[in-house]
Amino acid sequence: MKFTDSQRRLLVMVLSGWLLLIITRQANHLLAPWGISLWLGGLLVAFPSLQLNFRTGLVSGVMLGLFVDVWSPLVFGTHALLFGLAHVIIFRIRGRLAASELAIGITVALITNLALFMVLSFWTLGHAPVSGLRLLSDLILSQIGLGLITPWFFALQTKGLQLIFKLWRPRVRAGI
């Protein structure tokens, strides 16, 4: 089976995003007795939007949004739509940013996470009673956690892209 370069990039983004989702769910399971949780959705969108082409980043964001939608009590497709929209916005402004700089990546991830958190919070307020203090504590914890984990996650994605292109080089058969 032959994969194109875009498919290889997409594979790395989806697998690393899936790993982040699993780690986040485990962390939320451990934090549940204290009534707080992490939201790292902005991190799933930031790197592909800053580093990949439009189509690969969009498909990555939508696929990861669908993964989040599987566990979400909201209408199926909500996260996929929001992640896709966030990708389009970041992709449109990335020409004005030094997209390869880690500090810019962290800032974009923090702003995207804040925006997605706020949109989803207002969306949820209409469906379930949620305390404002709980939302504020979740937001603060999420932003601190995201700021700490972003360098590791960007490095994981960068090394994953380097590794997959090193392992999946086209091989030329001699004598044929």
Tens digit of each residue's pLDDT (9 = 90 or more) over 94-110:
999 988 899 999 999 99
Residue 127 has a pLDDT of 64
Question: How far is CA 5 from each of CA 2, 41, 162, 164, 170, rounded to the nearest angstrom?
Answer: 10, 25, 12, 10, 11
How far apart (Å, rounded) are the C-alpha atoms in residues 142 and 126? 22
Tens digits of per-residue pLDDT, 29-72? 999 999 899 999 999 999 999 999 999 999 999 999 999 999 88
Q: Which residue has the higher pLDDT, 133 or 43?
A: 43
How far apart (Å, rounded) are the C-alpha atoms in residues 92 and 24? 28
Buried b (16+ CB within 10 A) or exposed e, 137-155: ebbebbbebbeebbeebbe
**Which domains, from first to last, does the chain contain?**
5-165 (1.10.1760)
Residue percentage of the chain with pLDDT more than 90: 70
How far apart (Å, rounded) are the C-alpha atoms in residues 104 and 98? 7
Residue 174 has a pLDDT of 56
Residue 32 has a pLDDT of 93
Question: Side-chain half-sphere of 18: how many Cα atoms within 13 Å?
Answer: 11
Average pLDDT, the chain: 90
The tokens describing 39, both together, are: 């939201």
Q: What is the mean pLDDT of residues 15-29?
A: 95
Q: Does the predicted model carry a pTM greater than 0.95?
A: no
